[in-house]
Chains A and B, each alone.
Chain A
Amino acid sequence: MKWVLNYKKGIKLKYWLYNFMIVFGGLISTIFTAMVLGVVIDKGLNGGQFDLVVPLLLCVVLITIVGKILSYVGILCMDNFGEKYVGNVIKQDCYKKINDLDQEFFNETPIGELTTVMTSDMWTIRYNICYIVKTFLGIVLRFVGALCYCLFVNWKLTILIMIPMPIIGLLSKNYIKTSSKLYQKRRNIISSFNNYIQENIEANRLVKNFGVEQQEIAKFKEKNKGLSRHNYKIRMRFINFYNRVNILSESMTILLVFFGGIFTIKGWITIGQLVAFSSLVGYLRDPFIELGSIIDEWQNFGVSVERIKKLLGAKSKIKDIGTITLTKEDHEIVFDHVGVQFDGTWVLKNISFKIEPGKTYAFIGPVGSGKSTITRLLLRFVEPTKGKIQIDGIDIKEYTMESLRDYFGYVSQTTFLFSDTIRNNVSYSDLSMDEEKVYESIDLAEAEFVYRLPEKIKTIIGENGVSLSGGEKQRLSLARALAKNPKVLILDDITSALDFETEIAVSNNIAALNYACTKLIIAQKIFSVKDSDCIFVLQDGKISEEGTHKELLKKKGFYHEIYKIQKGSFGGEKSW
């Protein structure tokens, strides 16, 4: 609670003011009016002072209305505040945080967990900051008020009635301690449950394709049952606890009947005082019953706050601490003995090379040889474990992340498109881009299919472009990168789903860009790389050969072998 209220400065005063309005409004409209009504009955009706009745009644109505308006306004303000504070401040900060976290975080954190934090945990803390304090305050005030009155009338009897109180206190403490793990576990179960559903929806075609709907439903039922069972466990524990509190607080009434009876019989208190006691015992007893529910909410609240704190406190290993802005001009990029280690294995070992502006470089090599890692290093999705990468002699860490990433146009192997219009997808780097530029990029990427769509660039493509073929998606993601006017274009095996003719057209377009642009190409086809100024052959995380197509062929090494295989599959028969 403290954390939530300290999260942003200058809100506490507002917060307590609203709480005060609600509680005070509630108090005067219930207790105060009850007291005045008591006077009406005692003096007005039984006492026969009829002329007192009308002003007193008016007073009751007035106080009620004033009190209710006070709490009505207070609640509206509080809810407004809670929604805005959690929705617009904490939630947006979390979203910002998520955007700033590095890839490693996402490799380890299931999306379902993040969505759960961003939705249901946020809901829980909003609900609780709006309700817990005001409810708790209300209870405490009523309790204290009633207690003072009772102590004043007869402190001995009051203490006797209050015997169960310390036991309730102990019970609550114990419950909080033993059940908090269960509440934490519930959040984790919910997270993984949500993640499961989210993946199932995403993989809907695979599910259909394998005809495993039945199995998926069975799996779901299993998980659903797990969640349901755990909820049941928590529920039952809570009901047990609640029930014990209930017994103890009910026993206060019994104690009142018994000791109150004795006290009156012995003449230590009057019958009138006993009546007052009996009408107030509710105020002494009910807080404990309500306390049970508050504890339940409080437990949820605590777990949710912890999870949000954890997200906000997550640290990127890759930090944006650079101060130099990388200008969009020609720069020389150098890999200086770079090594990258993942989970104890070296994916890249001691790689060194130089990239000069305007030229074309290519990387070729088997699956898992570390080709993609090189491109990810440039964008700082991955940080070198060893060695460094320099641009114009300065370590890339010294540049601001934003200017660095702006320098590159990255087309990744896994195309990701958003369920938005084609226009918004292509102009992803800059939404204010004019339509002309969008079409220009589409043309460069040979994504001519867009013109055949009824709504052209206004067509909404489904989640991750489901309505498009693989080749169409790849061309759109290329158009998206070209629209950035990047100084370095990174093409990570983008033509794998393109037919040869399209690929040739695309590479001609890229070669003829009207500004100087360095190209880094990852490919498997020799012909995609053969015109490059320099080809690096990667094997097992190392550069085994480098040079132009001709030079490499002369070497008769691994490159030559790839060439032979690819050519050989064509060259076999020449009967035509």
Chain B
Amino acid sequence: MVNKYDVDEQNTRFDKKNILRLLSYAKKHRLKLFVTFLLSAVATILSLFTTKILQTVLDEVIVQADMKKLIFYTLIEIILTIVIVVFSKLKDQMLAKINLSIIYDLKNDLFAHIQYLSADYFDTRPHGKILVRVTEYTEQVSSLITNQLVNTIMNFINLIFVLIFMFTTNISLTWLTLVGVLILIVIFASTSKIKRTLRQDINNKKANSNAYLVESLKGISTTQAFNREKTNEKIYGNLTSIQVDAANKIRPYSNLGWFSIGNISSITTCAIYFVGIKILYPNISVGTIAAMGSYSERFWSPIRSFFNTIDSFIETMTYLERILETIDEEIKIKNSEHPKNINISGHIVFDHVYFSYDGKRNVLNGIAFEILPGEKIAIVGETGSGKTTITNLLARFYDIASGGIYFDGVEIKEIDLYALRKQVTIMQQDNFLFSDTIMNNLKYGNENISDKQVHEVCEKLEMDAFIRSLPEGYNTVLENNGKTLSEGQRQLLSYARVILNNPKVLVLDEATSKIDVQTEKLIQTKVKDLLKDKTTITIAHRLSTITDSDKILLIKDCVVKEEGTHEELMRLKGDYYKLYMSQYALYDK
């Protein structure tokens, strides 16, 4: 199903395994994490001592009016403080390092996987939705296993200490406090599901408006040419207000945490005083009641951050799921178990290939042909007859339904995918130029090419003089897909890039469609020279450009209808003849 900007992505269910997978990212830092635990544990315990010192000063030193002792305790306090501060600095530094490292790893894994996803993954969803996963979601995930994990464990230890104190002081009053915790758990348990759903909704709506934004930016010229600004503003405005509404829907729940903890803690503390004074007194001392009261206050502070962690856990999991969903996305086109890394000579066989993009409508219906090494082949046929599909199959962007494609007798699926694509390159109809210098764009895929080689090819393509006339020459930085160049110039650059990539089999899908005839004529012989040892497959509408091909395939009704040299096909007086004559007639009037 194709997704678009106003369609939510499907939500996933909660899966415990995801947590383990996130933890696996922290695995290689386990030693460091352990050290940070130790550091913060020591710092926490030492800070208890500093409170103790203040107590001692109050109780002993001042009563005894002992100046020496005061100085002594002050010195100890100074030392303790220094140790605590140094330890927490070390802890912070280590955590920051681990944090960044996890983000780094996660981003790398996600990006690497995206590189290998099949073409149809990108065809079926707005790119803005893929983008947020790499750029935003990854940033959100890592603090869960570092700062929050450490804090949670510290809080837990703290809590246990306080609980021990409380239980040893008075059991029944302690249970009273725990009733408060129980209520809190009920509140959190009953709202966690709705919080999760709302959070997922926020993410979906955000992805939607992001997708629309990215596309608006890419299609800005179309928008302006069609006076669509106002309508688009309305659509985007609508998407953002939906996003705002979704974000605001969760607020009453996400703020419920501190609100209920604040109230419950205050009520339980009061209840301790009440029960202590009104019911238990005089069976327990006033001191015990006061102590329980102050413990109760201290008890709630770790609880508070504990439950805050739960909230961010819920949030983080929704991001994590999207990331893992992408990482788990099946790579449909992949290497067989023992891929063969063959040197392709250019011998290609299409053996009754059937193919359909959607599983319903066949685009190729038993296409069969053979290409010999070094041959110059042309494929002709009406728009939409399946020519581009053949090129897509040659580079294995898609797998065929039945039949077989063979390179040097080896089934395409058996060949190492990346070796195949290195040797079989397609120059597509849509050429993308990166925001980089012209030189780097030309060297794309093969940085070892010398500048001289680049200049040579550009010269042969009649581009050298033009590039040099630019203010920065070859170092001119192109922006936004080479917007400042004309289409013909962009096509020539892509052409040069493909030639410089030096493949064994070169597929030219309307490679010169946007180049004028004179320029084409000028470069024709020079290009021939560049391509002389390569197998080339050309798709063209202008039959005049392909008449000297070694073989011409005419595709009609999803099969190869006619096949042969120009002369043979003309003699056949079939479809090719008709097509050629009709084009010729246009000039003969």
Chain A neighbourhood of B466, CB < 8 A: 368
Shortest B105–chain A CB gap in Å is 9
Contact between B421 and A500 (Cβ–Cβ < 8 Å)?
A: no
Contact digits for B462-486, partner A, Cβ 8 Å, 1 yes 0 no:
0000100111000000011101101
Contact between B484 and A107 (Cβ–Cβ < 8 Å)?
A: yes
CB of A153 closer than 8 Å to a CB of B: no
Chain A neighbourhood of B89, CB < 8 A: 239-240, 243, 246
Contact between B127 and A569 (Cβ–Cβ < 8 Å)?
A: no
Chain B neighbourhood of A64, CB < 8 A: 262-263, 266-267
Chain B neighbourhood of A221, CB < 8 A: 108
Residue of B nearest to A261 (CB): B70
Residue of B nearest to A225 (CB): B104
Contact between A366 and B519 (Cβ–Cβ < 8 Å)?
A: yes
Alpha-carbon gap, A316 to B484, bound state (A): 17
Contact digits for A449-489, partner B, Cβ 8 Å, 1 yes 0 no:
10010100000111110110111100100001000100000
Alpha-carbon gap, A546 to B237, bound state (A): 48
Residue of B nearest to A569 (CB): B544
Tally of contact residues, B, Cβ under 8 A: 177
Contact between A205 and B100 (Cβ–Cβ < 8 Å)?
A: no
Which of A43-51, A142-150, A177-185, A350-358 makes up part of the contact surface?
A: A43-51
Contact between B471 and A343 (Cβ–Cβ < 8 Å)?
A: yes
Which of B33-41, B73-81, B310-318, B345-353 makes up part of the contact surface?
A: B73-81
Say which residue of A29, A79, A498 sits within 8 Å of B541 (CB atoms): A498
Say which residue of A209, A217, A247, A366 sits within 8 Å of B428 (CB atoms): A209
Also in contact, A412 and B108, with CB within 8 A (given A53-B273, A115-B214, A239-B89): no
Alpha-carbon gap, A454 to B358, bound state (A): 10
Contact between B541 and A367 (Cβ–Cβ < 8 Å)?
A: no
Alpha-carbon gap, A462 to B128, bound state (A): 12
Chain B neighbourhood of A100, CB < 8 A: 229
Contact between A37 and B293 (Cβ–Cβ < 8 Å)?
A: yes
CB of B156 closer than 8 Å to a CB of A: no
Contact between B224 and A29 (Cβ–Cβ < 8 Å)?
A: no
Shortest A131–chain B CB gap in Å is 13
Chain B neighbourhood of A119, CB < 8 A: 132, 136, 210, 213
* Interface SS of B by simple majority: helix
CB of B31 closer than 8 Å to a CB of A: no
Contact between A208 and B395 (Cβ–Cβ < 8 Å)?
A: yes
Alpha-carbon gap, A412 to B221, bound state (A): 9
Say which residue of A115, A364, A402 sits within 8 Å of B227 (CB atoms): A402
Chain A neighbourhood of B74, CB < 8 A: 254, 257-258, 261
Chain A neighbourhood of B103, CB < 8 A: 228
Contact between B587 and A110 (Cβ–Cβ < 8 Å)?
A: no
Chain A neighbourhood of B274, CB < 8 A: 53-54, 57
Residue of A nearest to B233 (CB): A96
Which of B159-167, B178-186, B241-249, B406-414 makes up part of the contact surface?
A: B241-249
Alpha-carbon gap, A343 to B5, bound state (A): 37
Chain B neighbourhood of A440, CB < 8 A: none
Chain B neighbourhood of A20, CB < 8 A: none
Residue of A nearest to B112 (CB): A217
CB of B302 closer than 8 Å to a CB of A: no
CB of B547 closer than 8 Å to a CB of A: yes
Also in contact, A502 and B2, with CB within 8 A (given A76-B255, A92-B236, A466-B122): no
Say which residue of B108, B124, B444, B483 sits within 8 Å of A212 (CB atoms): B444
Shortest A440–chain B CB gap in Å is 18
Chain B 64-112 interface residues, beta-carbon cutoff 8 Å to A: 65, 67, 70-71, 73-74, 77-78, 81-82, 84-85, 88-89, 92-93, 96-97, 100-101, 103-104, 107-108, 111-112
Also in contact, A210 and B422, with CB within 8 A (given A65-B263, A467-B123, A498-B383): yes
Contact digits for B223-267, partner A, Cβ 8 Å, 1 yes 0 no:
111111101110011001101100110011001000100110011
Residue of A nearest to B388 (CB): A469
Shortest A79–chain B CB gap in Å is 5
Say which residue of B71, B97, B210, B587 sits within 8 Å of A232 (CB atoms): B97
CB of A496 closer than 8 Å to a CB of B: yes
Contact between A469 and B470 (Cβ–Cβ < 8 Å)?
A: no
Contact between A91 and B240 (Cβ–Cβ < 8 Å)?
A: yes
CB of B357 closer than 8 Å to a CB of A: yes
Contact between B248 and A493 (Cβ–Cβ < 8 Å)?
A: no
Contact between A108 and B479 (Cβ–Cβ < 8 Å)?
A: yes
Contact between B126 and A429 (Cβ–Cβ < 8 Å)?
A: no
Alpha-carbon gap, A570 to B435, bound state (A): 40
CB of A544 closer than 8 Å to a CB of B: no
Alpha-carbon gap, A226 to B75, bound state (A): 44
Contact between A209 and B224 (Cβ–Cβ < 8 Å)?
A: no
CB of A314 closer than 8 Å to a CB of B: no
Shortest A336–chain B CB gap in Å is 23
CB of A383 closer than 8 Å to a CB of B: no
Contact between A45 and B541 (Cβ–Cβ < 8 Å)?
A: no
Contact between B541 and A428 (Cβ–Cβ < 8 Å)?
A: no
CB of B561 closer than 8 Å to a CB of A: no
Contact between A499 and B54 (Cβ–Cβ < 8 Å)?
A: no
Residue of A nearest to B382 (CB): A499
Which of B20-28, B370-378, B487-495, B528-536 makes up part of the contact surface?
A: B487-495
Chain A 474-529 interface residues, beta-carbon cutoff 8 Å to B: 475, 480, 484, 493, 496-502, 524-527
Chain A neighbourhood of B501, CB < 8 A: 210
Shortest A402–chain B CB gap in Å is 5
Say which residue of A190, A278, A561 sits within 8 Å of B54 (CB atoms): A278
Contact between B126 and A419 (Cβ–Cβ < 8 Å)?
A: yes
Shortest B304–chain A CB gap in Å is 12
Alpha-carbon gap, A240 to B403, bound state (A): 66
CB of A327 closer than 8 Å to a CB of B: no
Shortest B445–chain A CB gap in Å is 4
Say which residue of A120, A381, A576 sits within 8 Å of B577 (CB atoms): A576
Which of A8-16, A302-310, A403-411 makes up part of the contact surface?
A: A403-411
Also in contact, A480 and B115, with CB within 8 A (given A84-B244, A198-B127, A576-B570): no
Contact between A250 and B236 (Cβ–Cβ < 8 Å)?
A: no
Contact between B70 and A262 (Cβ–Cβ < 8 Å)?
A: yes
Residue of B nearest to A573 (CB): B567
Which of B11-19, B193-201, B510-518 makes up part of the contact surface?
A: B510-518
Contact digits for B363-392, partner A, Cβ 8 Å, 1 yes 0 no:
000000000000000000111100110000
Shortest A166–chain B CB gap in Å is 20
Chain B neighbourhood of A464, CB < 8 A: 218, 430
Contact between B483 and A107 (Cβ–Cβ < 8 Å)?
A: yes
**17 chain-A/chain-B pairs, Cβ below 8 angstroms:** A29-B262, A54-B274, A87-B243, A209-B395, A212-B444, A235-B96, A243-B88, A243-B92, A257-B70, A261-B73, A265-B65, A405-B227, A454-B360, A463-B122, A466-B119, A497-B510, A563-B587
CB-CB nearest 9 A-B residue pairs: A471-B383, A367-B488, A569-B544, A211-B421, A210-B445, A470-B429, A527-B586, A64-B266, A496-B513
Told that A41-B290, A228-B104, A367-B515 touch, could you supply 5 new A-B pairs with CB distance under 8 A? A203-B434, A205-B122, A368-B489, A419-B2, A499-B383
